Structure 1
Amino acid sequence: MPGGTRILSMGFKSLLDKLKIEPYVIALFGMVVLASVLPVRGAAAEGLSVIVKLAIALLFFLHGAKLSREAVVAGVTHWRLHLTILAFTFVMFPVLGLVASKLGVLSSTLAAGMLFLCCLPSTVQSSIAFTSIARGNVAAAVCAASASNLFGIFITPVLVSVLMHTQGGAAGGWESIQDIIVQLLLPFILGQLARPLVAKWVEKHKQLVGYVDRGSILLVVYAAFSEAVVGGIWSKVSALEMVVLLVACCILLAIVLAATTYGARALGFSKEDEITIMFCGSKKSMATGVPMAGILFPGPTAGVIVLPLMIFHQIQLMACSVIAQHYAKRPSEIVEA
């Protein structure tokens, strides 16, 4: 039996490797299952809400502490590349999200989730990692991804407020922006200010910081889906809608990947910059999106709102992993072409 269990475990790990699915992604969907079976209710839910707010504050404090001042100001001279990435992230994506939300193929809440997804900033870690694997402009990727997240703290709630208002949604408004400032921006600034004191500790305990980072997101997902389950989420989202959502996310990513790649070429960027633009301009951050959804969409709505983000996040990781390997195999002699 132990031998059979070990073989089964190895086979499962091999399957995950082939499908490019991270154990963390499995854990995320595990939180959805756990919340569906054992949702937190009543006084316990109120206590969890306080813990979640503290976890989010700690998460963004660590983001501020990890990001060096040099990374914040580096690459500013390459303004053309950064403006291009920001345009894809905060202009083209929201336009596509608005179009998708008006097609009528998704329920109003899932359509709102697609629109919210399109308003989010880019990822940081995976954008930089894929750019590095593909032999792109890593320095520019660090700056662009960091700038996207920094600006996203301000831009995303404004976009959500404007676009959701056009959709008849209740999200956004000055109160939501204030909550974003208090729960996300303020801890980030405090992290930056505390960096001289904590930077060495953070660098030394990278693995622990990583656990706190991912653990915070898992906690937020569990809390959001618990509230959604209590509010009857699974009576509102059918299996067919989930399939349609999956297809919609695939189409959205395909359009953006094509637009960033061919757009970068049309604008005359080098191959390294093209890689940076594609990876930084096509991804959306779960680390920022999940906590922000809990602030902008209080109540059971948040659990449904983050469904498109969770699905898109996994698809983008799988697709970009394959693309990065493809770029990495190109001959070295044409890197500067």
Structure 2
Amino acid sequence: MENLCVSLVGATGRPWTSSAISFPRSKRQSELNRRVIAAASMSRQEIKRIVSKNFVSLALIGGMSIGMLEPRPGQFAQHLGLSRWATAGIFLLSGFTLQDGDINKALEAWPFALQGLISILFITPAAAWLVMQIKLNPKELVTGLAIFCCAPTTLSTGVSLTQLAGANKALALALTISSNLLAVFTMPVSVSLWIGKLGIKFPASKLFRSLVQTLVLPFAIGKLLREVFCFYHPAESIDRHREEISFASALLLSSVPWMQISSSRSLLLQLDARNLIAALFLGIALHFMFLAVNMFLVSLIKTGSKEDDEASSRAVILVASQKTLPVSVAVVETLKAGEGSGLLVLPCIAAHFSQIILDSILVGLWNRGKED
């Protein structure tokens, strides 16, 4: 027994206490803590990777949610005309980052450009006739969606999503600018042909000036700034920051629907839930139809390498399947629709926001597929 007691005495002459006995447990706890910290670090990295991949979708959904919950900041921004400045900023950045090689790729992809223009200006507007055959009460819901079908492509969404998808951005820019300018002349004909005489006084000159100021001039200024900058500095100094510029473009893109839905919130809350659901369903179905048609049409075109054709195809699929809200609303506002004007605008709003969300998800799937 005495020998046992001596063996339990440490070098200091003190007995081996319970804290010393618990040393193995402390070691296990330290190892557990290390693993928890490592797991937390990996979780943060994983969250950062997921947010980075799905930044556009998250920004768009977040912006629209904020607009519905607290509309006053967005309404004030819209009142100041910041939505036009946001669109102009996207085209300014697009011109600033556009390389000469991108322009050459767009020129080589002229069959895709031709198909995209035909789809935007003639094929998708023909869907207005199909929409008008839908028996839905009130009738303004289908009439508003039919007007939306006749509109040109989106002013900023298609270009931004094309850039984020790594597709042919120059082709998307060319399609957006040319189709919106040409639609000033083709949209009145499409509305009259597929919908009928609605008493629309098409604001052609006003729209044309607005498009030049919002799309053409900012793009030209951005391209000019790039040429001046590259005269003194290598182009790589711009191109190495393409990811940061893409994020800035995505933020500008998400600010547009934030302002639009903030301004439309009162209208959305006043409407019957059944009308709102019907408008959303019609808008989603219509966009799926546009995507399917354009996917089929671009699959028929072969110009060069598989990689270049894929980049051009995705640019056309995105740009030619979307319709712009501001032009649709401008046309609706010229109608003497009285109390029904709100119902005419509703399907345009619903279709516009549904196409943004669906296409941002599509871009995320494309990017995920490239990584796999």
Normalized against structure 1, the TM-score is what?
Answer: 0.68
**Structure 1 residues 39 and 316, CA gap change in structure 2 (3 angstroms):** closer
In structure 2, relative to structure 1, the CA distance for the partners of 1:114 and 1:310 (3 Å cut) is farther
Matches of 2:202 and 2:356 in 1, distance apart? 22
What is the rounded CA distance, in whole Å, between the counterparts of 1:290 and 1:198 in structure 2? 35
Alignment of 1:317-336 (within 5 A): 317-319=360-362
Q: Which residue number corresponds to residue 124 of structure 2?
A: 93
- Picking from 248, 262, 267, the partner of 1:226 is 262
Partner of 1:332: none
Q: What does 1:265-276 align with in structure 2 at a 5 Å threshold?
A: 275-276=310-311
Q: Which runs of 5+ in 1 are unaligned?
A: 133-140, 330-337
Cα distance in 2 for residues equivalent to 1:48 and 1:114: 27
Distance (Å, rounded) in 2 between the aligned partners of 1:47 and 1:102: 32
Residue 137 of structure 1 corresponds to none
Distance 1:218 1:30, change over 3 A: same
CA contact (8 A) 2:88 2:214 kept: yes
Q: Give the match for residue 103 of structure 1.
A: 133
CA contact (8 A) 1:61 1:189 kept: yes
Larger-Rg structure: 2
Tell me the SS of whatever aligns to 2:318: coil
What is the aligned partner in structure 2 of residue 314 from structure 1?
A: 357
Which whole-Å CA distance do the structure 1 matches of 2:243 and 2:323 have between them?
20
Tell me if 1:37 matches 2:40. Answer: no
Q: CA deviation at 1:181?
A: 0.9
1:62-101 matches, cutoff 5 A: 62-74=93-105, 76=107, 79-96=110-127, 98-101=128-131
The 1:86/1:112 distance shift into structure 2, 3 A limit, reads closer
Preserved CA contact (<8 Å) 2:148 2:325: no
Question: Contact (CA 8 Å) 1:90, 1:119: kept in 2 or not?
Answer: no
Following superposition, the deviation at residue 165 of structure 1 comes to 5.5
Give CA deviations for 1:94-152 in whole Å, capped at 9, x if unaligned. 333x33442335433333334436687993465477677xxxxxxxx455334213323
**Structure 1 contact 127–280 (Cα < 8 Å) conserved:** yes
1:242 to 264, 280, 299: 280
Secondary structure of 1:116 counterpart: coil
Match of 2:289 among 251, 267, 279: 251
1:123 is aligned to 2:165: no
Identity %: 13
Q: How many residues align?
A: 305
Q: Give 1:37's aligned amino acid.
A: L
Q: Could you give the per-residue CA deviations for residues 213-270 of structure 1, whole angstroms, max 9, x where no partner exists? A: 122222221221222123x223344223322332332233223322332x337xx988
Equivalent-residue separation in structure 1 for 2:166 and 2:73 (angstroms): 43
Partners of 1:25 and 1:314 within 8 A in 2? yes
What is the TM-score of this pair, normalised by structure 2? 0.63
Q: Which amino acid aligns with 1:249?
A: H
Change (3 A) 1:226 1:131: closer
Secondary structure of the 2:158 match is coil
Work out whether residues 179 and 295 of structure 1, in 8 Å CA contact, stay in contact via their aligned partners in 2: no
- 1:57 matched to 2:88? The reply is yes
Q: Contact conserved, 1:221 with 1:290, CA < 8 A, in 2?
A: no
Query: How far apart, in 2, do the equivalents of 1:127 and 1:53 lie?
Result: 20
What is the match of residue 174 of structure 1? 205
Does residue 154 (structure 1) correspond to residue 181 (structure 2)? The answer is yes
**Secondary structure of 2:72's match?**
coil
Change over 3 Å in CA distance of 1:192–1:36 after alignment to 2 = same
Measure, in 1, the Cα distance between the counterparts of 2:83 and 2:154: 23
For 1:65 and 1:192, locate their aligned partners in 2 and report how far apart those are by CA, in whole Å: 5
| C-alpha distance in 2 between matches for 1:287 and 1:67 | 22
Contact map agreement 1:120 1:284 (CA 8 A) in 2: no
